[in-house]
Structure 1
Amino acid sequence: METLLDNTKFAKRLQKIMESHELSATSFAEKLSVGRATISHLMAGRNKPSLDFVMKVVDTFPNVELEWLLYGKKTTPKPPPPTLEKTIIEPQENSQKNLSNSLQKTSEEQTPKTAQKSIENIGAFSSSKSAVKRVIIFLEDGTFESYEM
Structure 2
Amino acid sequence: MREKLLDLMKNEGLKPSQLAETLGINPAGISHILAGRNKPGFDLLQKILRRFPRINPDWLLLDAPQMYREQIPGNPTQSQSAVPENEPTGGLFGQPATEPGRPGISPTSVTERPESPRTLTELLVGKKAGVSVTRIVLFYDDQTFESYTPEKTMK
TM over 0.5: no
Higher fraction of helix: 1
> Structure 2-normalised TM-score?
0.42
> Structure 1-normalised TM-score?
0.44
